Amino acid sequence: MRTPLIAGNWKMNKTASEAARFARELIQSPLSAAVIDIVIAPPFTALAAVRDALGQASSIELGAQNLHWETHGAFTGEISAPMLKDLGCRYVILGHSERRAQFGERDDLIRKKLLAALTHGLNPILCVGESLHERESGITAEVIERQLKGCLAGFEPAQLAPLTIAYEPVWAIGTGKAATPDQAVDVHQLIRHTLETGWSASVAAATRILYGGSMTPQNVEGFLAFPDIDGALIGGACLQVDSFATIVRLAQKRIGH
């Protein structure tokens, strides 16, 4: 059985002191004993502060929002996988639509970042998703398949064991307009089929696939009710402790049944 994962992508929000305060409050929130994976991904500047605030005993894992594919060198403003590992990160978000749209990241470049993450023992959360124009044009499946095959080209099935995929329809990110659970399930099934035909049935069965895009405490249960949806990559709703903790509790409630 795939362990549900709830990840919070803070994007460019919270100073180091604000982030540390959030982490301290989060670990004091009442959560159930049901085992799910919980990840928070602060900005680079807050990673150390959040790590220290969480402490070694916390089950909440630290994630990063991006990395460079090289280990070191003349890459001003970039962060490498070994740097993230040294800070205590276990996860890294790659291929987010904002990185694709605002910074020109393409599948071949994201593939290089995935390789760096996997080489250095980080668990990548690979984001895929279609724009509103692509959905309305009826090419959602084509877009998702192209992104998966481009980002994962050349990887052997065994290499993909640490991989998580997040389906984030671009038209639902930060807009308050989430996909319906049925729409999300259709794409999750497509992703799993693509993994099966392109890599292996075992990869398809084991890979966690998250939904992201205007998910809130009010709609999360509708998504998590479907076995094809293994958790959530949360944006705006993860920036408040009560909101994020509620989503975590609802996910724990699902696994507790």
Per the listing, tokens 């038209």 go with 171
**Burial group, residue 48, by CB count within 10 angstroms (0-12, 13-18, 19+):** middle
68 is catalytic: no
Neighbouring C-beta atoms of residue 93, cutoff 10 Å: 25
pLDDT of the residue at 177: 75
Decide: 223 and 184 in contact? Cβ < 8 Å: yes
Judge contact between 235 and 11, C-beta under 8 A. Answer: yes
Given 96, 98, 130, 188, the catalytic residue: 96
The confidence score (pLDDT) of residue 195 equals 98
SS3 letters across the chain = CCCCEEEEECCCCCCHHHHHHHHHHHHCCCCCCCCCEEEEECCHHHHHHHHHHHCCCCCEEEEECCCECCCCCCCCCCCEHHHHHHCCCCEEEECCHHHHHHHCCCHHHHHHHHHHHHHCCCEEEEEECCCHHHHHCCCHHHHHHHHHHHHCCCCCHHHHCCCEEEECCHHHCCCCCCCCHHHHHHHHHHHHHHHHHHCCHHHHHHCEEEECCCCCCCCHHHHHCCCCCCEEEECHHHCCHHHHHHHHHHHHHHHHC
Respond yes or no: is residue 61 known to be catalytic.
Answer: no
Average pLDDT, the chain: 94
Query: Model confidence at 119, in pLDDT bands (50, 70, 90)?
Result: very high
Q: Work out whether strand 123-128 and strand 231-234 pair parallel, antiparallel, or are unpaired.
A: unpaired
User: Residue 173, exposed/middle/buried by CB under 10 A (0-12, 13-18, 19+)?
Assistant: buried
Burial 143-170 (b: 16+ CB within 10 A, else e): bbbebbebbbeebeeebbeebbbbbbbb
Number of domains forming the structure of the chain? 1
Q: The tokens of 110 are what?
A: 């994201």
Please say whether the beta carbons of 232 and 178 come within 8 A. no
The CATH number of residue 38's host domain is 3.20.20.70
**Tens-place pLDDT, residues 196-249:** 999 999 999 999 999 998 889 999 999 999 999 999 999 999 999 999 999 999
pLDDT of 176: 74
Q: Domain of 194?
A: 5-256
Provide mean pLDDT across the span 54-59: 91
Q: List the catalytic residue out of 61, 134, 168, 188.
A: 168
Per-residue pLDDT, averaged over 40-64, amounts to 96
- For residue 120 the two structure tokens come to 């250095």
Could you tell me what percent of the chain has a pLDDT over 90? Answer: 87
> Is the predicted pLDDT of residue 32 greater than 90, yes or no?
no
The partner residues of 5 in beta bridges, in order of sequence, read: 37, 231
Q: What is the band of 46 on the pLDDT scale with cuts at 50, 70, 90?
A: very high
pLDDT confidence bin for 256, thresholds 50/70/90: low
Mean pLDDT of 108-135: 96
CA-based torsion, 129, 206, 61, 30: positive or negative:
positive
28 pLDDT above the threshold of 70 = yes
pLDDT, tens only, 170-194: 888 777 777 899 999 999 999 999 9
Confidence class of residue 34 from pLDDT cuts 50, 70 and 90? Answer: low
